[in-house]
Structures are given as C-alpha cells and as structure tokens.
Amino acid sequence: MLNPVAMREKNGSELPQQAVILAAGRGERLRPLTDHTPKPLIEVGGRPLLDHHLEALARAGVTLCVVNVAHLGPQIEAHLGDGSRFGLRILISREPPGALETGGGLRKALGLLAAAPFIVLNGDIFCDYPLARLRGHPTGLGHLVLVSNPPGNPGGDFSLKGAQVENDGASRLTFSGIAVYRPELLAAAPTTPRFPLTPLLRQAASAGQLTGEHHTGCWHDIGTPKRLAAARLAAQ
C-alpha cells in the first residue's frame, strides 16, 4: 500500500517528509557482536544508532520513515514498533537473507514511499549533521553529504566542484551515507533484485545531476570494533 503522506514541492525550500534508513546489513567485521545484535541497534552514547537517526529525522520534520531489514530483522522490528514513540510513522521493508544491497534495498522501499524526494541514512553511522540543512534538495537526481576521508578510505569516493559532485577531481571526499534522492535515480537500475547504488550515483554525477556538500563535523562509520570505540568516545 502506498503511503498517503502528501509530499509538497511547491517551492524549493521544503524538506522531504519521508526517509529510508538502511538497516539490513550483516556487519561481518563487527562479529561476534553482530551475531546477536543487528548493527543499527548497537549503542553509541547510551542509545542505539537507530534511535539517533529516528530522533534526528523527527526533529527535521520528517513524518514517514521506511526501515529495511534482513539480518536479525525481527529484533529491529520489535524495537521500532509503529514509530509513534519517535514521533514518526515507521514502515518495514523486509528483505531476503543476504539482503538486496543498497540499490536493491532502495528500489524495494520505493513501494512504501510517495513518488517524491526522500532522505536516506545508513543505519550504521553516527553523525551530527543537521538534517534540516537538506531543505531544498535535491535540484537534480540526488544530493550527497560528503565528509573528509577517514583512515579506512583515504582515496575518497567523489569530489566536489562548487556544489556539483564529480567522479574525478583533485580534492576527494568520502560519501557519508546521508543523502536525498529522487525516485528517478533508480530508473536506470538493473533488473536483478540485488544491485549496488554506487554505479547509479556515478552515472548521475557524470550527467551533472548530483549535487553535494562537505560536512566537517562529527561522523563515524561503525564498521569495525575500532571505529565503534572511536564513536563511543566521541559521544561521551
């Protein structure tokens, strides 16, 4: 059933009122912790990562959030409930074992969203980026929040030329896992159920349809025990 939230685009200053949190990953590098705890429910600052995201979305005025699940999905669903305690309506997009990768997961989640721009957050990051700053985006197919390259990704992912995201460039930055997309970004997706999103982002960047910004505040990718410890230290 399509969600009934009305998405207004009468002027470019509005913030998307719908979001997707990507929470289906296995978290292999965090095992054995993720053998029994899904990565988005790992606590940082005394609360699950997922709670930080949901509270930030609610503060920014988002009303509907789709959360995709696979590994230990029932734990995530039980934690979320209907979303009312977060001030949100939460819908679950269930994926098969092994999940659908980022692209496949987003395409499946589109069936629960209105045909309008939507915010996307990786469920395994800890970040102080103010989501209200996404107001008025995207002007093309997507808008990416980029961060300075962490030790685990010294070569970066994209570069910025003004507000334009480019695939090549001297000043490389890392994709934070925070973005706004239009559904049309997925129009050129492969027909296979599982596929990564990055090739579609690169196509959009090549076509001049991807904007971005550099966030210089707190950002941690909770991908390894060392990174988890760093995030917990930053949250103290």
- The answer to the question of residue 27 being in a domain is yes
Q: What is the pLDDT of residue 167?
A: 96
Q: Is the pLDDT of residue 118 over 60?
A: yes
Task: Determine the pLDDT at residue 13.
Answer: 62
Say whether pLDDT at 200 is over 70: yes
Residues 179-191 have a mean pLDDT of 94
DSSP string spanning the chain? ---------SSTTPPPSEEEEE-----GGGTTHHHHS-GGGSEETTEEHHHHHHHHHHHTT--EEEEEE-TTHHHHHHHHTTSGGGTSEEEEEE--TT--HHHHHHHHHGGGS-SS-EEEEETTEEE---GGGGTT--SSSEEEEEEPPPTT-TT-SEEEETTEEESS-SSEEEEEEEEEE-GGGGGG--SSS---SHHHHHHHHHTT-EEEEEE-S-EEE--SHHHHHHHHHHT-
pLDDT of 10 over the 70 cut: no
Contact 205, 167 (CB under 8 A): yes
Q: Dihedral of the CA atoms 91, 224, 170, 132 (nearest 10)?
A: 30
Give the pLDDT band of residue 227 (cuts 50, 70, 90).
Answer: very high
CA 41 to chain CA mean position, Å: 15
Q: Is the pLDDT of residue 49 over 90?
A: yes
**Residue indicated by tokens 């070569």:** 155
Is residue 2 assigned to a domain? no
Q: Does residue 1 form part of some domain?
A: no
pLDDT in tens, 123-159: 999 999 999 999 888 989 999 999 999 988 999 999 9
| CATH number of domain containing 61 | 3.90.550.10
Range of the structural domain that residue 104 is part of: 18-234
Q: Residue 69 — left, alpha, or beta (φ > 0 → left; ψ -120 to 50 → alpha)?
A: beta
Q: Is the pLDDT of residue 182 over 60?
A: yes
Residue 116 resides in a domain: yes
Average pLDDT value for residue range 25-39:
89
Percent over 70 (pLDDT), the chain: 94
Q: What is the mean pLDDT of the chain?
A: 91
Domain assignment of residue 8, yes or no: no
pTM of the model: 0.91
Q: Looking at residues 160-170, what average pLDDT do you find? A: 93
Whose structure tokens read 């930030």?
56
The region of weakest confidence among 8-17, 85-94, 116-125 is 8-17
- Structural domains counted in the chain: 1
pLDDT of residue 65: 97
> Could you tell me if residue 67 is inside a domain?
yes
